[in-house]
Amino acid sequence: MKKIQVGLIGFGTVGSGLAQTLYEQKERLQRKVGTEIVLTQVADIMTDSLPEQFAGVKLTKDAGDIFSNPDIDIVVELIGGMEPARTFMLEAIKNGKHVVTANKALLSVHGKEIFEAAVANNVEVGFEASVGGGIPVIKSLKEGLVANRIESIMGIMNGTANYILTRMTDEGVPFDEVLKDAQEQGFAEADPTYDVEGIDTAHKLAILMTIAYGKHVHLDDINTEGISNITPVDIEFAKEFGCRIKLLAISRNHDTHVEARVHPTMVPNSHMLANINGAYNAIHFTGDTVGNVLLYGLGAGMMPTGSAVAADVVDIGRNILCNSINRVPALSYLPQHIGKPTITPMSELSGPYYFRITALDKPGVLSTISGIFSKYNISIKSVIQKSRHELDPVAIVIHSHVANEDSVQKCIAEIDALDVCTENTVKIRILTDNK
C-alpha cells in the first residue's frame, strides 16, 4: 500500500515534536492508518543536521525542494509568522500538496486566502494545533458539534497569561515580577506582547468563530485588551467579590451579529473557567442541542502541539488512502456557504463592571463620583473605600449592576478628568451567564 510521505518546514520546538511523535508512534499509527507515515524531508535554514533517529530523512535549507518533491503528499509548515509562511503554504497548495500548520497568526489574517486556494486546488488544510495546543478543539467544533448552532464561545486560550494571573492570584506577586520569572522558566517569550496583550488569544478566537459561525472572521474584527495593567490590588478586590481574574476570549451569537472580544474578566468562583489555573487552557462552547461543553488541557509545548499536528497528518493520510479528499470541509461549512461576519460593536454590549477609581480622600469626592455614575444611568451595586490619611490617594471600588459599554466609557472619561483623581480608572468586566 502507498506510504504517506511528509515534508516538514521548520525543525524548531514544534517541528521536532512532530518528528519525534511520528518516530515514537510509528507502529501504532501504522496499525491505525493501514500504512506507514514517513517523514521524508525537512527544510530548515538554521539546522545543519538531524538527530540520529532521522538518518534517512533528507535535510535542505530550501523549502522549494519540498514543494517540487513528487513523493511528498503533505507539507507541514511550522516556522510561524506571516512571511515566508504564507508564501510557502500557497506554493505548496499550488503544487497540489496538502498542508498542515499550527500558525494561528497566519490563519487569523490570511486564512480566507489560504482556504480558498486549497478549495481551488482540491487539497486539504489541517490546523488543529493552531488553537489549544494538544486539545482537540478544532476537530470537536467542526465535527463533534456539527449538528449544533453555536450559541457562545468562551475560553482561556493563552497559557502564559493564565500562568501569570494564577501566580498573581495565589501568591500576590506583581505582574512584572511574575512575567520575568515566566521568561526565565521558558513559559513566556522574550517579547511577551502577543501573550500578555491578548493578541495570541484573539488569533485563536478568530479561527474558532470562523468555524462556529461559517463567517470569515479576521483578527481586526476582535476587540482586544491585555493583562499588563492588572495589579495585585485588583486581584485582591476580585477575591472580595468572590471572583478570579482571567484573560477570556468571548463570542456570543445573536443571529444577525456576533460578539468578538478578548479582555480581562472577573470570573465568579462558581464558574468552571475560574478554576483553570497555571499554563492550562480551557475552551467552553454552548450549543443549542448539546448544551455546555468544556475542553481542557495544555495549550502549548513541544509534544502536546506535535500531537495535534500529527493528528492532522493522520486525518489527511486516511483521506488520501480512501480517495476522500475534503470529505470534511476545512471550516466545517461548505465553502459556498461561508460569508462575511457582522460584529457586535463594543459600544452596544452590556454587563456588570468593576471600577477602581484612585482619588484624593476629601469630603464630597464619593458623592461627586456617584453623581457621575447616576448621570450615565449606571446603577451601583456596592462600594468599597479603603480609607487612609486625608489627602492621600485612596481606592474607591465600585461594583455596578448591568451597564452599557458606551455609557461606561463616557462615565470613566468624566471621572478621570476630575482634579481629585490621581490615576486613570481601572475597569474590568464581570462575567455573567451565557445568555
Please state the φ and ψ torsions of residue 84, each to the nearest 5 degrees: -85, 10
For residue 186, say whether it is annotated as part of any ligand binding site. Answer: no
Catalytic residue among 204, 215, 246, 427: 204
For residue 164, say whether it is annotated as part of any ligand binding site. Answer: no
Altogether, the residues listed in the chain come to a count of 435
For residue 16, say whether it is annotated as part of any ligand binding site. Answer: yes
For residue 197, say whether it is annotated as part of any ligand binding site. Answer: no
What is the layout of strands, in order, in the sheet containing 37-43?
A: 58-60, 37-43, 4-9, 74-77, 98-101, 125-126
For residue 9, say whether it is annotated as part of any ligand binding site. Answer: yes
Q: How many C-beta atoms lie closer than 10 Å to residue 229's C-beta?
A: 13
Cell of 148: 449544533
User: 74-77 and 4-9 as β-strands: parallel, antiparallel, unpaired?
Assistant: parallel
Please state the φ and ψ torsions of residue 6, each to the nearest 5 degrees: -115, 135
Residue at 272: amino acid letter: M
Residue at 139: amino acid letter: K
For residue 316, say whether it is annotated as part of any ligand binding site. Answer: no
For residue 13, say whether it is annotated as part of any ligand binding site. Answer: yes
Contacts 24+ apart (CB under 8 A), 63-68: 63/9, 63/88, 63/91, 64/91, 65/41, 66/7, 66/8, 66/9, 66/41, 66/92, 67/91, 67/92, 67/95, 67/97, 68/95
For residue 15, say whether it is annotated as part of any ligand binding site. Answer: yes
Cis amide prior to 304 (ω within 30 degrees) = no
Contact 113, 87 (CB under 8 A): no
For residue 91, say whether it is annotated as part of any ligand binding site. Answer: no
Which residue has cell 497548495? 93
Cell of 131: 488553537
2 flagged as catalytic:
no
Q: Could you list the residues known to form a binding site for NADP(+), using ranges.
A: 9-16
What are the catalytic residues? 204
Q: Could you list the residues known to form a binding site for L-homoserine, using ranges.
A: 189
Q: Could you list the residues known to form a binding site, using ranges.
A: 9-16, 104, 189
